[in-house]
Structures are given as C-alpha cells and as structure tokens.
Amino acid sequence: MLSVQNTDAPVTFTPELLGKFAEIVARYPEGKQKSALLPILHLVQAEFGWVSAPAMDKVAEYLNIQPIEVYEVATFYTMYFLKPQGKYMLEVCRTGPCEIVGATPIMEHIEKTLGVKEGDVTPDGLFSWRGVECLAACGYGPVLQIGPEYTFYENLTTESVDKLISDLKGKANN
C-alpha cells in the first residue's frame, strides 16, 4: 500500500525553487497558502525525481501546515512518486479506448525491452514504467507520457517505442 518513504539524503530547496514557491503562493488569498500544495509538490518532484518524507516535511514547514496534511495529499494523488524512479518514467495509458487499440501489447513490449517489471527501475537508473489511467488522449492511442515535462507520445507502435527508448538513452549519455 501507499506509504511515505524516509531517506537520509538531505533536502535543500534552492533559492530558485523557493522563488517559484513564492510565485505560486501569491496566486491565492491571504491565509489560503495551502492551495499551493499540489503545484509545489510537482515542483519538488521535478527537482528531486520523487517526494521523500523529509521533502514533504520541508514543504509543510514552508506552507505553515502540518506534515500529515502534505502526506495525505501526496498519497491520494497518483502523480506523486513516493519512492525513487528511473530518470525517465514511461507512463502508458491502459484505460478502455487505449486498450482497444493496443495498450497491453505496448506495455508488454516495454517490460520486455527494459527487462524490469512495472514500478521497478532499470539497473542503470534510467528507466521505469507503469500503466496509468486515462490520459485524455483517446483519439491518438496508445499513448504514453514522460514527466516532469509530461511530454506526450501518441499512436505508439513497438517500433516507435524502441526508437523512443534508444533516443532517451542517447540523451542521457550525452
């Protein structure tokens, strides 16, 4: 089940990141800074690759709310990674419309190509993958997305997935 994972790695928010936090908090009325929680967690995940317990504690401190208020949000929403993932997390839509145009064979192909099960990380730390629910791109299925930019790859075939994986490997090694 979902749980908050601790880590010994120290968490520091750079001044640049804190600047982005402040920009977000300014969008809401005085005293309603908790509204910034979801956007800030996205920024934290983009920076560190996942949201650890110490990071969540620091977010709580920043927003002047209780840590549990951050944990309950991070564990409710599916986009927040509660443990480290590969540098590239391939999230394949597995819901009805994508399924009937071949999402399952795409996921099987990714599993075979990467050699890791859903949710696991490749030994080189580059990739993980998982099936996710409807991504609102049903006319272009099968689709996958890769965070933190959430770039979309549409009308997937095994060939286009192979090319994507090799492109990402090339990008990471440069």
Residues within the interface to other proteins (CB under 8 A): 27, 29, 32, 34-39, 41-42, 63, 65, 69, 72-73, 76-80, 94-97, 99-101, 132-141, 145, 147-152
| Least gap, CB of 20 to other proteins (angstroms) | 13
Position 67, amino acid? P
Residues 6+ away with beta carbon under 8 Å from 158:
105, 106, 109
By C-beta, is 28 or 166 nearer to other proteins? 28
The helix (run of H) or strand (run of E) holding residue 93 is strand 88-93
Q: Which residue's entry shows tokens 């791109």?
A: 137
By C-beta, is 79 or 172 nearer to other proteins? 79
By C-beta, is 87 or 169 nearer to other proteins? 87
By C-beta, is 25 or 116 nearer to other proteins? 25
Q: Specify which residues 91 forms β-bridges with.
A: 130, 145
By C-beta, is 28 or 162 nearer to other proteins? 28
| Least gap, CB of 115 to other proteins (angstroms) | 26
| Least gap, CB of 1 to other proteins (angstroms) | 12
CA pair distance 4, 45, nearest whole angstrom = 14
Find out whether 5 and 82 touch, Cβ atoms under 8 Å.
yes
| Least gap, CB of 132 to other proteins (angstroms) | 8
CA pair distance 160, 143, nearest whole angstrom = 11
CA of residue 8 relative to chain centroid, distance: 21
| Least gap, CB of 27 to other proteins (angstroms) | 4
